[in-house]
Structure 1
Amino acid sequence: MAKIKPFKAVRPTRDKVSLVAARSYQSYTQDEREARLDHNPFSFLHIINPGYKYHKEISGKERYGLVRNRYLEFKEDDIFVQDEKPCFYIYRVVNREQKVFTGIVAAASTEDYKNNVIKRHEDTIEYREQIFKEYLKTVGFNAEPVLLTYPDSSVIKRVLKSYTETRAEFEFTTTYRDTHYLWLVENTEDIKMIQDEFSKMDAIYIADGHHRSASSFLLGEDLKNSNPNHTGNEAYNAFMSYLIPESELRISEFNRLIKDLNGLSKEQFLLKLDESFRIENRVHELYKPSRKHHFSMYLDGEFYSLHLRKTSYEFTDSLSELDTHILYVTILKPILNIIDLRNDNRIDYGSDKHNVIEMKNRIDSGEFAVGFGLVPVNVEEMKRIADEGLTMPPKSTFIEPKLRSGVTIYEF
């Protein structure tokens, strides 16, 4: 039984939302960040990069306090205003390919996270959880929702349609040519209808944002334990989420790029691969696999197709059927000695619709020795992994949509 709540979002004013909204900090190149910071005083980047005004790199707890100060300055200058009533927020993104994503920004329950009603499929790293928990505790807000997915509901779809056929509160197009829309759901009957539908769901799933949800849960536990008057209704008992139906979730693959062949010659490497795969040299064809358990490989200026020899591989559970896991246990670990997928600096990942060309270019440049392409994971695979209490290897899924930070802000 999933619990979601409306909340009083802090939002940019309508005239400034397009200037405030920002992609995640890491997605910008240094030149892009500097251009936005130089020429746009309203960008959310000024809040999360508070040292910019002092021309100084600031990190750790000192940065957290300054982030809080910049945020309060935006509120004092009426760039941000808080809604008077708790709302759900319908957020729609239409990307440059005219793919439409429509979901609900809401407060999801940390108790649901604890009790595995909100299910996860990725491991998290403890020190990153702790760092982000301390960041949240200091700044007192969350500006980037966790992406959750739920089974398609005709009732919720009908409610959303009744709003999206009206004029949006926000409508703006980014330089990426994505158009963003926001509608407010203030009507108590509509809010209850949405909540009732979610209460019928046994589980909802984290699609993107495992560390953010884990850190929010840890923060809630800290604040609960330090509050003698804890009631369970405090804002820290929830975290901001963007809930989207499974049918609209878009999952792409991450390619794997490896810097060396672990001391093997090209011929020795191919012979070892032959134990687990049927190999075909595609020469200069930009080959992409189209079926599960098929992989592409780029090595020494040529593409290869790799088809798993099922007679030499045993399927035991949902994880063993996952292509990212198969690649790890048959090639990366035993042949290339890539043990720690999160921290080994010999491996890198790429995800983009042009990632085959990008992989080829990075290998041709000599930066990497070999690269592997995979078929994307689908929603059902992701759910099975979560249902069985298993975890995918890192960088198994590149999830869309990606929302802009600073459009809705959750305070606690």
Structure 2
Amino acid sequence: MTQIRPFCGLRPVPEYAAEIAALPYDVMDTEEARQILNKNPLSFLRVTKSEATMSDCIDPHSQAVYKMAKTNLDRYLSDGQMKKDTTPCYYIYRQQMGQHIQIGLVAAASVEEYRENIIKKHELTRHDKEQDRVNHILATEAQTGAVFLTYKGKPEINTYVLSLMGAKKPVYDFTSEDGVQHTLYVVENLMEIAELTRLFEDVPVMYIADGHHRSAAAMRVADELGKTPRHGSNEEYSTFLAVIFPDNMMQIMDYNRLVKDLNGLSMEEFLSRVGEKFEISELENGPKPEARHQFSMYLTGKWRRLTAKEGTFAADDVIGSLDVSILQDNLLAPLLGIKDPRTDERINFMGGIRGLDALAAKVDAGAYSVAFAMYPTSMEELIKVADAGKIMPPKSTWFEPKLRDAMVVHLIGEDE
């Protein structure tokens, strides 16, 4: 049984929503954030990448940066650009990117259910990234970025959410600079809130699609603040900000690989050894892989198709049969010497939203020697891994469209 709660969201007043709403902090570096802020000073990156509003030499993990995030958040309120809802609400968040539409419920999810694995994980987290989010939450007294959750879709939930959307007028409806349409509805009626809460009680488990560091940080913050509880077990810090989508609305794109060199091999030696584990063929229908266990490789200005040979992986192994594992175990590690893609500086990754031309351009520019285009991991594979209690290899999934920060912020401060 899944427990979700409404909450008093902090959000932009409608006339500022399009300017304030921002891409997540972790899809850009500080300089990119600085450039966005130069064009749009109202961007919520003032809070989520507050170092971009400070000196170039500032340590992005210094306490001064987290303090600035709080100052900048408070300024939105004092300037009247963001306001807090006066009663607990749910929020319906619709996104459209091209022909793809996904509709999620913004709610407060349970830290305890995350701890008990009712909210299931599929990735490892890094302590330094967790600590960054812990510091940010404690300093701002807010969860400014949502955890992207999914569940095995239920028609009755979909039907009810669509009926609410049909009966309400959206509070925001704008298209961001990347062409994604963002629409938000507020659910404040007590009977509607009760029905949504009841419907989700029939969802046995949920899965983290994106946001493992944010959810892990929320648990650590709850543990810290729970040492001196103020009002009992229903503190806002015992929950975390989430947007919850049915699995059949989710879109996973390819997450591609770039490697700086051929590990001392000549091109001929490299291709010969690749051919031991993969069938190599000329591409006839463009560079994108067309099925699982296929890869497209860009080397010396040319795309080639790689197809994993029989016996190179165990089909019944939920981890070993993933395409990211097949490439890692049969090529990246043994041929190119990439033993740990989490830490090896010779490998880089590029989300499929950038397109394969951008992947090839990195090789053509000389920054990398070879690139690999992947077939996207499926939601079915993600769920199987999480249900088995396993961990996916790093950089296995790239979800699009990205949730925009500041559509709704979850405050956990003392007056909440």
Q: Contact between 1:12 and 1:79, CA under 8 Å: does it hold in 2?
A: yes
Q: Tell me the equivalent position of 2:186.
A: 184
The worse-fitting range, judged by mean Cα deviation, of 249-258 and 155-164 is 155-164
Q: Tell me how many residue pairs correspond in the alignment.
A: 409
Name the CA shift for 1:328/1:231 in 2 (closer, same or farther; >3 Å). same
Q: Deviations over 1:23-43 (max 9, x none)?
A: 124545777644543354432
Q: CA deviation at 1:99?
A: 1.9
Q: Distance in 2 between matches of 1:313 and 1:56?
A: 47
Q: Tell me the equivalent position of 2:13.
A: 13
Q: CA deviation at 1:181?
A: 1.1
Return the letter of the residue paired with 1:238: T
Q: Contact between 1:117 and 1:203, CA under 8 Å: does it hold in 2?
A: yes
Q: Distance in 2 between matches of 1:326 and 1:348?
A: 17
Q: Distance in 1 between matches of 2:294 and 2:39?
A: 47
Q: CA deviation at 1:72?
A: 1.2
Aligned partner of residue 202 in structure 1, secondary structure: coil
Q: Tell me the equivalent position of 1:410.
A: 410
- Residue 148 in 1 paired to residue 156 in 2? no
Aligned partner of residue 298 in structure 2, secondary structure: strand
Q: CA deviation at 1:47?
A: 2.9
Q: Deviations over 1:104-162 (max 9, x none)?
A: 10000000100000011111112211222122111111121110011212222122112
Q: Tell me the equivalent position of 1:265.
A: 266
Name the CA shift for 1:64/1:299 in 2 (closer, same or farther; >3 Å). same
Q: Distance in 1 between matches of 2:40 and 2:377?
A: 38
Q: Distance in 2 between matches of 1:260 and 1:193?
A: 56
Name the CA shift for 1:88/1:48 in 2 (closer, same or farther; >3 Å). same
Q: CA deviation at 1:170?
A: 1.4
Return the letter of the residue paired with 1:298: Y
Name the CA shift for 1:296/1:12 in 2 (closer, same or farther; >3 Å). same
Q: How does 1:89-100 map to 2 (within 5 A)?
A: 89-95=91-97, 97-100=98-101
Return the letter of the residue paired with 2:99: Q
Aligned partner of residue 16 in structure 1, secondary structure: helix
Aligned partner of residue 194 in structure 1, secondary structure: helix
Q: Contact between 1:22 and 1:404, CA under 8 Å: does it hold in 2?
A: yes
Gaps of 5+ in 1: none
Return the letter of the residue paired with 2:122: H
Q: How does 1:172-321 map to 2 (within 5 A)?
A: 172-224=174-226, 226-229=227-230, 231-282=232-283, 286-321=286-321
Q: Distance in 2 between matches of 1:388 and 1:197?
A: 26
Return the letter of the residue paired with 1:212: R
Q: CA deviation at 1:46?
A: 2.6
Return the letter of the residue paired with 1:79: Q
Q: CA deviation at 1:316?
A: 4.6
Return the letter of the residue paired with 1:322: L
Name the CA shift for 1:200/1:255 in 2 (closer, same or farther; >3 Å). same
Q: Distance in 2 between matches of 1:308 and 1:47?
A: 45
Return the letter of the residue paired with 1:227: T
Q: Contact between 1:296 and 1:374, CA under 8 Å: does it hold in 2?
A: yes
Q: Contact between 2:48 and 2:144, CA under 8 Å: does it hold in 1?
A: no
Q: CA deviation at 1:256?
A: 0.7
TM-score, normalising length from structure 2? 0.93
Aligned partner of residue 15 in structure 1, secondary structure: helix
Aligned partner of residue 233 in structure 1, secondary structure: coil
Q: Contact between 1:143 and 1:407, CA under 8 Å: does it hold in 2?
A: no
The worse-fitting range, judged by mean Cα deviation, of 340-349 and 151-160 is 151-160
Q: Contact between 1:121 and 1:385, CA under 8 Å: does it hold in 2?
A: yes
Return the letter of the residue paired with 1:162: S
Q: Distance in 2 between matches of 1:34 and 1:360?
A: 27
Q: Contact between 1:61 and 1:135, CA under 8 Å: does it hold in 2?
A: no
Q: Tell me the equivalent position of 2:333.
A: 333
Q: CA deviation at 1:267?
A: 1.5
Name the CA shift for 1:309/1:103 in 2 (closer, same or farther; >3 Å). same
Return the letter of the residue paired with 1:63: V
Q: Tell me the equivalent position of 1:159.
A: 160
Q: Contact between 2:95 and 2:401, CA under 8 Å: does it hold in 1?
A: yes
Name the CA shift for 1:23/1:329 in 2 (closer, same or farther; >3 Å). same
Aligned partner of residue 242 in structure 1, secondary structure: strand
Q: CA deviation at 1:391?
A: 1.0
Q: Contact between 1:255 and 1:355, CA under 8 Å: does it hold in 2?
A: no
Q: Distance in 2 between matches of 1:125 and 1:354?
A: 25
Q: CA deviation at 1:244?
A: 0.6
